[in-house]
Amino acid sequence: MEKTLLVFLDFLRQEHNYSHNTIAAYKNDLNQFVHFIQNGQHSDLTDWADVTAVIVNEYVEYMKTQAYASSSVARKVAAVKSLFNFLHARQYISENPTTHIESPRVKKRLPQTLSTADVERLLKAPTEKETPKNLRDTALLTMLYTTGMRVTEVVSLHQKDIDLENNVLYCAGKDDQVRELPFDKLTQTVLTEYLERGRPFLVKNKEETAVFLNHRGQQLTRQGLWLIIKAYAKQANLSASVTPHTLRHSFAAHKLESGADLQEVQQLLGHANISTTQIYTQLSDEEKDKES
């Protein structure tokens, strides 16, 4: 079963050009399904063809009893269905046991955002002292909020991707789709200060081209970015649990509140479907209700 699973993951990588993070998520979810089979009452199963709709339904019900968000359960079930669709299409199995399996309903939760006042407090947190690290963090936090970039997109940014003269950067998003993101004067200023007076003191290898570097002079990691934001959120006395995605959500909600078009925000965020972006209109409507 494991060998066939690797074939499926390679199919996702080669045919769909899924990112490393997406492949890792599929692998984790499907390994969980295999673990359920091999460590339960169906431990004697050794072939995907022996997996029935009853077993898949048992797994779905089991997942519902675990401490997962409904969206996580739906994702895990979708991964299993994708696997069996592939196995059936490639004739590894004669019947697809997931054909009539219904995905769990996802309870839509509104994204957590910060007020503009809280954003200002967060962005000011690293400015108490002008050190290379603080210049980096000021540029990092400001860029996250003023562009709405994802965590991976920010840490993967290289110097060639930034055009300071025209206030625009080129962001490689999901599925390697590059989108052009404009940024404001404030972002231009803090980026320039970091690149001129901060980054030169952090870089150790002249061939390193990543924009944001850690104390070892290497490209900042996703985990490193999360820890930076967590520290400054605490320093700014923000009660909310602030993550890099909180700034992305705040960017989208504040854009719509200020009158930006929904399609414009969709493009800036790099959403494939506008339905993903529409959730921010609910946040905007809530703010208007509070004011009225």
Residues identified as active-site: 150, 174, 245, 248, 271, 280
Per DSSP, the residues of 241-281 read ---HHHHHHHHHHHHHHTT--HHHHHHHHT-SSHHHHHHHH
Place of tokens 């980054």: 199
Q: Which residues pair with 249 in a beta bridge?
A: none
Q: Packing angle between helix 20-38 and helix 53-65, nearest 10 degrees?
A: 110
Structure tokens at 245: 């995605």
Angle at 250 between CA 23 and CA 190, to 5 degrees: 95
Read out DSSP for 2-61? HHHHHHHHHHHHHHS---HHHHHHHHHHHHHHHHHHHTSTTTT--SGGG--HHHHHHHHH
For 212, the token pair is: 């944001």
